[in-house]
Amino acid sequence: MELQSLLLMDGVLPDPTLAEVTEVFASNVAFHRLSGDFPDPEQVRPDQVAAVLGAESQTPSSEILLLRDRTDALAGVVFLLHEHPDPADTFPWIGLLMTHRELHGLGYGRRAVELVEARLRAAGRGGVRLAVLENNTAALGFWTALGYREIDRRKDRELGRACFVLQKVFPGGEE
Residues of the chain short of pLDDT 70, as ranges, are: 10-11, 173-175
pLDDT single digits (tens) 142-162: 999 999 999 999 988 778 889
pLDDT single digits (tens) 127-141: 999 999 999 999 999
Q: Are 48 and 38 in contact (CB under 8 A)?
A: yes
Strand positions, DSSP E, 23-148: 62-68, 74-81, 93-99, 127-133
Taking the domains of the chain in order of start, what are their residue ranges? 2-169
CA 39 from centre of chain: 20
H/E stretch holding 151 reads: strand 149-155
- Superfamily of domain 2-169 in CATH is Gcn5-related N-acetyltransferase (GNAT) (3.40.630.30)
Q: State if pTM tops 0.95.
A: no
Q: Are 112 and 35 in contact (CB under 8 A)?
A: no
